Structure 1
Amino acid sequence: MRAVQVVETTGPEHLQVREVPEPQPGADQVLVEVHSIGVSFPDLLLSRGEYQLKPEPPFSLGVDVAGVVVSAPESSGLAAGDRVAAVAPYGGASELAVFGTDSVFRLPDALSFDEGAALPMNYLTAEFALHERAGLREGETVLVHGAAGGVGTATIQVAKGMGARVVAVCSTQEKCDYAQAAGADEAVLLEGFKDSVMALTEGRGVDVVVDVVGGSVFTDSLRCLATLGRLLVVGFAAGEGIPEVKVNRLLLNNVDVRGVGWGGYGMMRPGYLHQQWEALLPMIEAGAVKPPIGATYSLDELGRALVDMDQRRTLGKSVVRVR
């Protein structure tokens, strides 16, 4: 079978599509015929050897996939022919892939394979961030940075599904429009966002900031928080280094900064990812969660898809189509 592999950790420009042996599932694994692969930030970091996991090359990329079950343990409740989405630290960017039963989810009929491949990492991260880390309550206001990207649009939709008001922050008007189409109530430009957000909230500020950008927006994000507000640190896509916080600001304003490390938490707790998936299903059925798909690519173009994402040329979640 064909798989997209990192042979040397020299970046997405040097990925190789190679013929590799078909995987043989273990007793607690599901074999999936992959139809679509979600293009994810961890794939980019893995290709450069910059991710917290450092598998020995050669290895296959691929964090999010959707496809059809080939075989599954009887205890999983899955059977050959079932449509599924799945997530793993890496290894899904191939024509066939194996996943632990805890990481495979039945895909609702209302969603395509492309949409299924856009769901697991981004939407489970958003659910973890908002529910577990923020303790988001209905009626609260959430500010989302990088709101037109994959994690951003996922966070918008999950926050709306939980009954929040959502303010999107984006670098261009095109991205603002995209974020509102994904479900945001309001969208403001990154430049001067603090003043815009304070005006929208009549000086009160927001209850939760979800920050996948980091860098220079961090301090103004803190200043946007209402009393008892929570700033969630999800990532550092800006590439400007890791920001620091003066803790007296937290004390004076009664606000929190909270880390969001979904993978290290969820994947270490048997059954947790399925609990999260169950929380998403009513949102999918209600139409609040429907992943917006940006660009689509072939298997041979996964490297280009990662470069496009890295250079912020894409909106929503990019997807590689295998079949």
Structure 2
Amino acid sequence: MEFVDLDLGPPDDRHLVVDVRAAALNFSDLLMSEDKYQVRPPRPFTPGQEIAGTVVSAPRGSHWNVGDRIASKIPWGGFAEQALVPCDSAFLIPENFSFELAAALPVTYTTSMVAFFDSTKLKSDQTVMVHAAAGGVGLAAVEIAKAIGARVIATASNAHKLDIAREHGADVCINYSDENWVEAVKDATSGLGVDVIYDPVGGDVGLQSLRCLARNGVILIVGFASGTITEIPANRLMLKRASAKGVYWHHDHDADLIKKMMDKMFVMLEKDLLKPLVDRRFDLAQLPDAMRALQNRDTTGKVVLAV
């Protein structure tokens, strides 16, 4: 990675030019940088998909104005002083919300909203298990599941991360580094298993999760932070009448869905049900250090660059 001056290019009729004030990191940024993600930008490219800042230029006829405080998911290019943001993917930030907290919303919280309100319909009488529950998407999932009223079993790799998950609403906390973590989940559910599994980890954790699934349950495939894609044996699903569902969204295909999810999310925020956690802050030029911290799993909640 190099810290250099680049030409953003001329404004067009589809994008806002935004002064980036904060940009959040995601595991997909690591995968994209290693050319292992489903989105593969032409190189060289500027990573960064989750930003918050102020509008400095808006197309004529758009409903945006210079000075508007916005946050957005973008394909890439967010780890910079300025970024191009599609007009239809930005949303206004409430005045009482900081740029750093707003940068935590467009990817992780939206993904968890889609998971629990669209990929499956999580109900208040169900039990959900959230893996990597102290990470960006995991912690968002814990909070949203609790806001719905579900019982939440949180898993993470150490006691500190489990404490954070508990502070954000988890009812039961289990260390999935322990050999007997699957049995602990079964004990916590009286042998019935969990109704919904939220899995951003993949690999062996995702595979072993199938042993924790209740009859008619669903495992939500959110990501592969372990670096390994889970190969799910179909017979495991068949015997439990269970299903596996991918959690994915894109503004080009899901604009109406995302607007509904954002509306629900802001109601939860107004009721103080969601409390994004920014664990580590870095300056823009420290991006390599920030990505290294995320890759080494030295963080909880969101890692944010202050620009």
2:148 is matched by which residue type in structure 1? M
Q: 2:144 aligns with which of 151, 158, 163?
A: 158
Contact 2:133 2:165 in 1 (8 A): yes
TM alignment of 1:148-297, pairs within 5 A: 148-190=134-176, 191=178, 192-239=180-227, 241-263=228-250, 266-297=251-282
Deviations 1:141-194 (A, max 9, x none): 110001111111111112122222211101100110011122222211112222
1:172 is matched by which residue type in structure 2? N
Contact 2:279 2:299 in 1 (8 A): yes
Q: 2:109 aligns with which of 123, 131, 138?
A: 123
TM alignment of 1:22-41, pairs within 5 A: 22-41=8-27
Q: Please report the TM-score for the alignment, with normalisation by the length of structure 2.
A: 0.94
Q: 1:300 aligns with which of 281, 285, 307?
A: 285
Match of 1:268, SS?
helix
Number of residue-to-residue matches in the alignment? 305
Deviations 1:230-267 (A, max 9, x none): 0011112112x32222222222211111112224xx44
Match of 2:253, SS?
coil
Contact 2:132 2:156 in 1 (8 A): yes
Match of 1:18, SS?
coil
Percent of pairs identical after alignment? 38
Match of 2:154, SS?
strand
Match of 1:142, SS?
strand
1:47 is matched by which residue type in structure 2? S
Contact 1:102 1:271 in 2 (8 A): no
Q: Distance in 1 between matches of 2:206 and 2:33?
A: 27
Give, in angstroms, the shift of residue 49 of structure 1. Answer: 1.9
| Pairing 1:88–2:74 present | yes
Q: CA RMSD in A?
A: 1.6
Q: 1:317 aligns with which of 276, 299, 302?
A: 302
Contact 1:143 1:168 in 2 (8 A): yes
